[in-house]
A and B are shown apart, each in its own frame.
Chain A
Amino acid sequence: MWWYLLKRLALSVVIILLAVAALFLMLHSIPGDPVSIALGPRATPEVQAAYAAKMHLDKPLYYQFLIFAGNVLQGDLGSDVFSNRSVALTLSEQLPYTIALAVAALGWAALVGIPLGCLSAIRPNSWLDRITGIISVGTIAVPSFLVSIWAILLFSITLRWLPVIGAGEEGDILSQLRHLILPAFAVGLGWVGYLARMVRASMLEVMGENYIRSARAFGLRPRTIVFRYALKVAILPTITLIGVGFGGLLSGTVFAEIIFSRPGVGKIIYDMVLARNFPVVQGAVLVTIALYVVVTLIADLMVSWLDPRVRESL
């Protein structure tokens, strides 16, 4: 177990470092002089030189990278070009909104999708299975940004049930929740179908295994067979899928944050890209990648903890 944990952690760190390096190189391939971008065209040469020295722009590339990587590891993501505010601080304000949205979306999708998948796997080709199949494909077929737009059209503009813009009043939980409903619905909808189909497929596969037939041959209750013997195995690939698919979920939150004008990491990236405020973009991208890596790590560890075959061999 410890060996696996160690290996998996090392891998995560390497992936984050690779991402940091890629970002660093990308930023350095920006056409134009970073100093004049940062300070504008009218800065005096002295001010420019001072800025370059402060940002280590006069040093060789690898040196800049080491400083950059070192700062990142210390949690220093640089500062806003315009306001000189700490990027880390800005992001720490935005991150909770994104996490809340992601958790809400994934949560409702799992609560609906996993039971749906189980039910349709228990009776394949029943009417429930067919309806679930149609719902699944239907929800997968509509991209999340389209769901967002259509949801606004239906629930906010036509029916006027729910608010469109923003994340709600600060401190007002009820208002915040009301503002969370539509974005979470939009981001999670595709996942309902995705999870239902995934669970159904892996349940069907497990239900065909010899040990399920043995359990039936020993006369166990269908309930016990489904939940203890089948689901316990079938859920494992689903957990891995959630981990891997989390990147896609984050893409969904970016669209939702932009369309619903919600604060969040995605919205920040979008706004700052348009404003060419690179330190913030860079920091925010790093934070999202780190988030993704952490989630896949958790998913992997959960799977290996739940499966005794893996648990022992580690």
Chain B
Amino acid sequence: MTALLDIRSLNVDFRTPRGRVHALRDVSLQVPKGKIVGVVGESGSGKSTVIWTVTRLLAANGVVESGEAIFDGQDLLTYPEPRMQEVRGEKVSMVFQDPMTSQSPVLSYGQQMTDILYRRPEPDAEKMRRAVEMMRRVGIPDPESRIAQYPHQFSGGMRQRAGIAMALLMDPMLLVADEPTTALDVTMEAQIIHLIRELQREFEATIMVVSHNLGLIAELCDEVVVMYAGEVVEHGDVRDIFYRAAHPYTRALLECDPAREMTRTRLLPVIPGDIPDLHIKPTGCVFAPRCPKAMVVCRERQPDAHTLEGGHATRCHLLDPGLAEGPVAQAEHTAPEAVSEGPRSSGAPLLEVDHLSVRFRIMGALKARVKGVQEPFVDAVLNASLTLKRGETLGLVGESGSGKTTLGRAVLGLAEAHLGNVTFEGRDVLGLSPAAFKPLRRDMAMMFQDPVGSLSPRQTVRALVTEPFEIHGLSKGRLDEEAERLCDMVRLPLNFLSRYPHELSGGQARRVGVARALALNPKLIIADEPTAGLDVSVQGEILNLMGELQREHGLGYLIISHNLPVVRHISDKLAIMYLGRLVERGDSEAIFARPAHPYTEALVGGVPQPDPDKRRALVSIEGEVPSLASRPSGCEFHTRCKYATERCRAERPGDTVLGDGRIVTCHHPLTD
């Protein structure tokens, strides 16, 4: 087996005002010809640095200290820049994370693609024909006319398809994909994974994929390299990694993925601690401070690479000869014991949303009149009804643009509702003036999506967590006590009180957000994407904390998320949203076990499983979410529904109540 790309002992530093960051240390990995190799790791693992080093596009403060990157027999790191320029695009090409920002906004696709073909000695018309052909190949409909368009005229999924087309245009020997689906929704992600697999077979391409997404790696890759804090901790065949992981970090990472647990545990496994500060070169094993099995030797000496059968190798002292334990075949289950499920929800509804609609104006009244637009609005939420009981968790799930966030904000009066009712503890709260709403805000709190961005940047943690008391004129003079109580509650060390938000990690900032939401002992918390921006190993900590606080205080949660695996673990009930409408509501287990709405089925099927033996043969859902401004007729899902009939196109479905109490808005619910 020949390696097309062979990275040997790569060491890369970044120069920063505070000294050098040792971003990559002794990284070696191989990409064999014709294979798909996945590099997996959390943020700060250095996985992207590997790509930028190999393509020689490191930021100006990056320094390659030592190492080689042998590509097709020659070391890329020794190439002079003009020669490297010949390699890029021609022999090594890339697919980028965010297609929106990685394609020129002022040049048409035709222009960008003919530019890439500048080395081909052929007329422009021929280059254009090639570009159109490639656009057709990656599944862009009507490529002849769309090639003249600009990136902003493409939807997210189409943009990434075009990005793949650009990368494949020169038929490169190696394709490097940097988080190719991270900017996309679940259903689009499935389509792109499928497309990459198809194209790999067709072009017999060699692909290196970098991702934090275990599901994507399991679905796509032949071989996997696991990175942690700038080091390769384990590599091997995809099955070796997913079934016979040897390194404690790999095992912990796999366990943390909520998509892996098929049973609802309520308590998710976590990796305690933080990624080490890479300003200092670690003396022992880099994972030792967080490793549940760390021994004395782990902190003293760096582990050697141990080769297991079939090219599977890892760096861990647990495999040192003479150690009693020997290779650990099964992962030690650090998963916590199941939590007793008492009667959690009870009594009268805490929150009732009744036929709520929210619309946004898309153009001024004058402009609408000039342009002859009758209704210059889009409906972000249409006719949505929900009920949440005390102590209950309701998961509101949908893709981006489904209106789930708007619904949450409208409940709190942060977005103006157009029609409908919202009652909190039997009291109508919609349309209250800010002054009349203010006392209610003690009982209804919200957690926002961006952990750091939702904290006022020039305030200390102390000021942030005590602000709710100040606003509501409570606990005067005892603010320090309250700050400490809240810090204890969310398990934030007290010395963090004097920090500023930008000095916090995502998980720490999220804790501050939780503390702020809980400060006044609310009855309801609306959490918008509580795990967004957090690494898998930290997600669990936050969700566990939220669950614990719920059991202690009897909180009601409305959890808004696109992340189905996360939501299913913590929700009692689910509501699925599509284009501003709720399409299915009911018990969380039941919905997961037997989705009744075709869209729910597609969403459940759209999550890539972190299991290489459960690869999907088919894409669960075709097409993209239509624009809010041009809603399809009849059932709004019919454009993407594989069960759609004439009736679906013509007639809007009503609510159907199933035997188990679920409500489905579909003409043909899947009830077998």
A residues in contact (CB < 8 Å) with B: 3, 6, 209-211, 213-222, 224, 228-229, 232-233, 306-309, 312
Minimum CB–CB distance from B18 to chain A (whole Å) comes to: 20
> B152 — nearest CB in chain A belongs to which residue?
A309
Asked whether B118 lies within 8 Å of A224 as measured between CB atoms, the reply is: yes
Minimum CB–CB distance from B55 to chain A (whole Å) comes to: 6
Asked whether A217 lies within 8 Å of B105 as measured between CB atoms, the reply is: no
> B150 — nearest CB in chain A belongs to which residue?
A308
The docked-state distance in angstroms from the alpha carbon of A128 to that of B104 is 28
A-B interface pairs (CB < 8 A), number: 82
**With contact pairs A3-B370, A228-B107 given, residues A213 and B102 touching in the complex (Cβ less than 8 Å):** yes
Asked whether A219 lies within 8 Å of B87 as measured between CB atoms, the reply is: yes
CB contacts (< 8 Å) of A306 on chain B: these are 106
Q: Main SS of the interface on chain A?
A: helix
CB contacts (< 8 Å) of B93 on chain A: these are 217-218
Q: Which of B55, B87, B94, B102 contacts A211 (CB 8 A)?
A: B102
Asked whether A210 lies within 8 Å of B150 as measured between CB atoms, the reply is: no
Asked whether B370 lies within 8 Å of A308 as measured between CB atoms, the reply is: no
28 CB contacts below 8 A, A to B, read A3-B367, A3-B370, A210-B98, A210-B102, A214-B102, A215-B115, A216-B57, A216-B88, A217-B94, A217-B96, A218-B89, A218-B93, A218-B116, A219-B86, A219-B89, A219-B116, A220-B89, A220-B118, A222-B85, A224-B115, A228-B115, A229-B107, A233-B105, A306-B106, A308-B105, A308-B108, A312-B152, A312-B153
CB contacts (< 8 Å) of A211 on chain B: these are 101-105
Asked whether A218 lies within 8 Å of B152 as measured between CB atoms, the reply is: no
The docked-state distance in angstroms from the alpha carbon of A243 to that of B371 is 29
* 9 tightest Cβ-Cβ pairs between the two chains A and B: A219-B89, A219-B88, A218-B89, A210-B101, A210-B102, A214-B102, A217-B94, A211-B104, A308-B150
**With contact pairs A217-B55, A220-B89, A224-B115 given, residues A232 and B106 touching in the complex (Cβ less than 8 Å):** yes
CB contacts (< 8 Å) of A229 on chain B: these are 104, 107
The docked-state distance in angstroms from the alpha carbon of A308 to that of B150 is 8
- Cβ of B166 < 8 Å from any Cβ of A? yes
Asked whether A221 lies within 8 Å of B85 as measured between CB atoms, the reply is: yes
Known contacts A218-B170, A228-B115; can you find 12 more A-B pairs with CB under 8 A? Answer: A3-B371, A210-B96, A210-B101, A211-B105, A213-B57, A214-B102, A214-B103, A214-B104, A217-B88, A224-B118, A232-B107, A309-B150
Minimum CB–CB distance from A212 to chain B (whole Å) comes to: 8
CB contacts (< 8 Å) of A308 on chain B: these are 105-106, 108, 150, 152
> A125 — nearest CB in chain B belongs to which residue?
B60
Minimum CB–CB distance from B600 to chain A (whole Å) comes to: 35
CB contacts (< 8 Å) of B72 on chain A: these are none
> A2 — nearest CB in chain B belongs to which residue?
B370
- Cβ of B425 < 8 Å from any Cβ of A? no
CB contacts (< 8 Å) of A218 on chain B: these are 88-89, 93-94, 115-116, 166-167, 170
CB contacts (< 8 Å) of B167 on chain A: these are 218
Most B CB contacts (10 A, CB to CB) among A3, A214, A307, A308 go to: A214
Asked whether A215 lies within 8 Å of B104 as measured between CB atoms, the reply is: yes
CB contacts (< 8 Å) of A215 on chain B: these are 104, 115
Most B CB contacts (10 A, CB to CB) among A219, A306, A312 go to: A219
Minimum CB–CB distance from A313 to chain B (whole Å) comes to: 8
Asked whether A219 lies within 8 Å of B57 as measured between CB atoms, the reply is: no
The docked-state distance in angstroms from the alpha carbon of A106 to that of B582 is 60
CB contacts (< 8 Å) of A307 on chain B: these are 105-106
Proximity string of chain B (144-187) to chain A, C-beta cutoff 8 Å, 1 when within and 0 when not: 00000010110000000000001100100000000000000000
- Cβ of B90 < 8 Å from any Cβ of A? yes
CB contacts (< 8 Å) of A217 on chain B: these are 55, 57, 88-89, 93-94, 96
Asked whether A220 lies within 8 Å of B150 as measured between CB atoms, the reply is: no
Most A CB contacts (10 A, CB to CB) among B55, B87, B98, B115 go to: B115
Q: Which of B584-621 contact A (CB under 8 A)?
A: none
CB contacts (< 8 Å) of B107 on chain A: these are 228-229, 232
Minimum CB–CB distance from B628 to chain A (whole Å) comes to: 16
Minimum CB–CB distance from A213 to chain B (whole Å) comes to: 6
CB contacts (< 8 Å) of B116 on chain A: these are 218-220
Asked whether B106 lies within 8 Å of A233 as measured between CB atoms, the reply is: yes
The docked-state distance in angstroms from the alpha carbon of A258 to that of B86 is 59
Minimum CB–CB distance from A215 to chain B (whole Å) comes to: 7
Minimum CB–CB distance from A251 to chain B (whole Å) comes to: 33
The docked-state distance in angstroms from the alpha carbon of A186 to that of B409 is 58
CB contacts (< 8 Å) of B87 on chain A: these are 219
The docked-state distance in angstroms from the alpha carbon of A126 to that of B244 is 53
The docked-state distance in angstroms from the alpha carbon of A217 to that of B55 is 7
Minimum CB–CB distance from B535 to chain A (whole Å) comes to: 22
> A124 — nearest CB in chain B belongs to which residue?
B60
CB contacts (< 8 Å) of B152 on chain A: these are 308-309, 312
CB contacts (< 8 Å) of B55 on chain A: these are 217
Q: Which of B483-501 contact A (CB under 8 A)?
A: none
> A312 — nearest CB in chain B belongs to which residue?
B153
Minimum CB–CB distance from A210 to chain B (whole Å) comes to: 4
CB contacts (< 8 Å) of B86 on chain A: these are 219
Most A CB contacts (10 A, CB to CB) among B55, B104, B116, B167 go to: B104
The docked-state distance in angstroms from the alpha carbon of A3 to that of B370 is 8
Minimum CB–CB distance from B182 to chain A (whole Å) comes to: 13
The docked-state distance in angstroms from the alpha carbon of A40 to that of B106 is 63
The docked-state distance in angstroms from the alpha carbon of A229 to that of B98 is 18
